[in-house]
Chain A
């Protein structure tokens, strides 16, 4: 036995001893698991792409997505299903039905929450409001102020979920509408600075509401190479604290795995986005244990 092997075996023995200690210290060493599923920029893609599509042949499709979601929910009932905006626009389903079927299918799939993308304003605030009765899930946006619009009170800044006694706070962020969406479509919606709003929201959720998990549902875009001043999910992650996960959209970014960024406290923030058109379903599993300090012992497997 060389010295290196010896060290490894000693470490293993310590770990075993550790396990024994843990078991004897607590009656039930429970590990809780929260699964976050997410989509973004589905853009009314309800049917799979045709088999002869040059880019995404036979990919996507709401019926397949639903089957995957059901299976995951069966494995872990403590699952949240989120969408990061741009549900509307992209196929005749939207042109013919104005988003009715999109909302109905998302309700059937038991989406828990969504935020608004710029295209969700395409039929103006009236067009969005008209479809809301078809959505059994809510919309959140913390930086769009709808006070002087018909959406006043219908879109909240954040929502808190409790799953297996784990408190999860989710807030929404939307992109600047000026120059991207016609004024007649967003009307008196006020766009507030996402960074300041995110800091307030994260503090509220983490410290006032005592959330175990803080998630930002963003339609800001993953990153902008040429526009360093333009806020993106990456700059948001770097310049805030108390956020665990940013689920993004808008830039149709196909990340092979979540990006891990350090926040102002040097803690890891996960930033994820799964492309567009319902081609992928993103999944993040958070494991919680009683009494272990998070900043020292967190393992991230991506």
Chain B
């Protein structure tokens, strides 16, 4: 039975083959897609290169390489984000640089001062090795395209921010703000610009678009009194800061104090 059925199938196919070319094919003049083949080529070192393209790229590459490798500052020691449980010299320096730049820009546009700055520990993507600092260094520590913003937060929200920092247990870069934690890692005091935090006061916090949008679980930014875009990429901020700083400062300020 099975064999007979197979035979029938083959026979039907034969009829079909005859029918289509004879009655359909010759009666229409159209073109039909009868076959599709797909493949892909891995672009790797085994391939030859188009020298016209290579020669065209060359001057652009040279200009970039030259700009990126030019020495723009000096690191007196290695800055490493893994050195420090609650505070790091790299975090302190980057937050301080961000705070100062943000304050200047914000005062120019809004006639108000920035009170504090928070960045994320995870956002520091490299060490700054002891020795010459270049633009390449800035690309390495900050490969992302995040930009500087200022958020207006009520004191109550700053408490949420402090609770987040204590809960996370990581040395997020801070400037302008000091937290004290008890032995259970609970926040006992918060000062901003040296003064105790007031729940109803509005504070201006410098940070980046990614975090303000809730990145790294920084939900406390969602309840805010306004967001100000300073149109400044964080990497450009670092490059400008390095250019105007002869020797990078080693800041050992304790922004998070544990008792």
Q: How large is the interface on B (under 10, 10 to 19, 20 to 34, 35 or more residues)?
A: 35 or more
Write the chain A residue with the least CB distance to B14.
Answer: A14
Alpha-carbon gap, A293 to B32, bound state (A): 6
State whether B57 touches A68 (Cβ < 8 A): no
Q: Is B109 an interface residue (CB 8 A)?
A: no
Q: Is A207 an interface residue (CB 8 A)?
A: no
State whether A298 touches B44 (Cβ < 8 A): no
Alpha-carbon gap, A184 to B227, bound state (A): 13
Q: Name the one of A3, A184, A291 contacting B26, with C-beta atoms under 8 angstroms.
A: A291
Q: Which residues of A contact B139 (CB under 8 A)?
A: 92
Q: Is A25 an interface residue (CB 8 A)?
A: yes
Q: How does the 8 Å CB contact mask read for B100-121 relative to A, with 1 for contact and 0 for none?
A: 0000000000000000000000
Q: Which residues of A contact B27 (CB under 8 A)?
A: 291
Q: A92-B139, A96-B63, A257-B38 are in contact. Are A291 and B24 (CB under 8 A)?
A: yes
State whether A66 touches B53 (Cβ < 8 A): yes
Alpha-carbon gap, A258 to B139, bound state (A): 36
Within 8 A of B (CB), among A278-302: 278-294, 296-302
Q: How does the 8 Å CB contact mask read for A30-73 relative to B, with 1 for contact and 0 for none?
A: 01100000000000001110000000001111111111101000
State whether A212 touches B44 (Cβ < 8 A): no
Q: Is A21 an interface residue (CB 8 A)?
A: yes
Q: Which residues of A contact B13 (CB under 8 A)?
A: 11, 14
User: 6 interchain pairs (CB within 8 A)?
Assistant: A3-B7, A25-B21, A46-B57, A92-B139, A182-B209, A212-B31
Q: Chain B's nearest CB lies how many Å from the CB of A59? A: 5
Q: Which residues of A contact B60 (CB under 8 A)?
A: 93, 96-97, 101
Q: How does the 8 Å CB contact mask read for A1-25 relative to B, with 1 for contact and 0 for none?
A: 0011001001100110010011001
Within 8 A of A (CB), among B199-242: 209, 229, 235
Q: Is B51 an interface residue (CB 8 A)?
A: yes
State whether B21 touches A21 (Cβ < 8 A): yes
Q: Is A165 an interface residue (CB 8 A)?
A: yes
Q: Chain B's nearest CB lies how many Å from the CB of A103? A: 12
Within 8 A of B (CB), among A125-175: 165-166
Q: Is B183 an interface residue (CB 8 A)?
A: no
Q: A47-B61, A97-B60, A105-B56 are in contact. Are A294 and B33 (CB under 8 A)?
A: yes
Alpha-carbon gap, A231 to B138, bound state (A): 37
State whether A105 touches B68 (Cβ < 8 A): no
Task: Please give the number of chain A residues whose Cβ is less than 8 angstroms from any Cβ of chain B in the complex.
Answer: 76
Q: Name the one of A7, A96, A97, A298 contacting B34, with C-beta atoms under 8 angstroms.
A: A298
State whether A284 touches B36 (Cβ < 8 A): yes
Q: A280-B42, A281-B41 are in contact. Are A7 and B6 (CB under 8 A)?
A: yes
Q: Is B47 an interface residue (CB 8 A)?
A: yes
Q: A58-B45, A66-B53, A280-B42 are in contact. Are A290 and B37 (CB under 8 A)?
A: no
- 10 closest A-B pairs by CB: A291-B25, A63-B49, A66-B50, A287-B35, A63-B54, A294-B32, A63-B53, A64-B47, A285-B37, A302-B38
Q: Which residues of B contact A46 (CB under 8 A)?
A: 57
State whether A65 touches B7 (Cβ < 8 A): no
Q: Name the one of B14, B33, B235 contacting A212, with C-beta atoms under 8 angstroms.
A: B33
State whether B52 touches A108 (Cβ < 8 A): yes
Write the chain B residue with the least CB distance to A32.
Answer: B31
State whether A280 touches B63 (Cβ < 8 A): no
Alpha-carbon gap, A123 to B29, bound state (A): 49
State whether A7 touches B10 (Cβ < 8 A): yes
Q: Chain B's nearest CB lies how many Å from the CB of A18? A: 5
Q: A61-B49, A64-B43, A301-B38 are in contact. Are A288 and B57 (CB under 8 A)?
A: no
